[in-house]
């Protein structure tokens, strides 16, 4: 039983990582250097914790892209 839980957790973790990688592709950053991507994400984390308006602005942009994705 414990193996099943571990296996399920690993599968869930793997799926989440694949989805996050898909966001990089969707943003058009597939060929960007990893160090730049990591730096940008760390900078984003700092901005999101210090500026609620920035969080709302970026959520709007992302939601629009997801809405238009199927068109």
Q: What CA–CA distance (Å, rounded) separates 10 from 36?
A: 28
Residue 6: domain span = 1-30
Number of structural domains found in the chain: 2
Q: What CA–CA distance (Å, rounded) separates 20 from 57?
A: 20
Q: What is the 3-state secondary structure (H, E, C) of 3-52?
A: HHHHHHHHHHHHHHHHHHHHHHHHCCCCCCCHHHHHHHHHHHHHHHHHCH
Q: What is the pLDDT of residues 11-62, one digit of tens each?
A: 999 999 999 999 999 999 999 999 999 999 999 999 999 998 999 999 999 9
- On whether both 40 and 68 belong to a single domain, the answer is yes
- What are the phi and psi torsion angles at 51 (to 5°)? -145, 100
Q: Residue 71: pLDDT band by 50, 70, 90 thresholds? A: low
Write down the pTM of the prediction.
0.76
- On whether both 37 and 65 belong to a single domain, the answer is yes
- On whether both 36 and 3 belong to a single domain, the answer is no
């Amino acid at each position: 039983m414990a193996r099943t839980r571990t296996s399920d957790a690993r599968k869930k973790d793997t799926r989440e990582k694949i989805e996050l990688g898909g966001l990089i592709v969707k943003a058009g950053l597939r060929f960007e250097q990893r160090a730049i991507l990591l730096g940008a994400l760390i900078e984003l984390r700092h901005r999101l914790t210090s500026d609620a308006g920035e969080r709302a602005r970026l959520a709007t942009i992302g939601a629009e892209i997801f809405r238009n994705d199927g068109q």
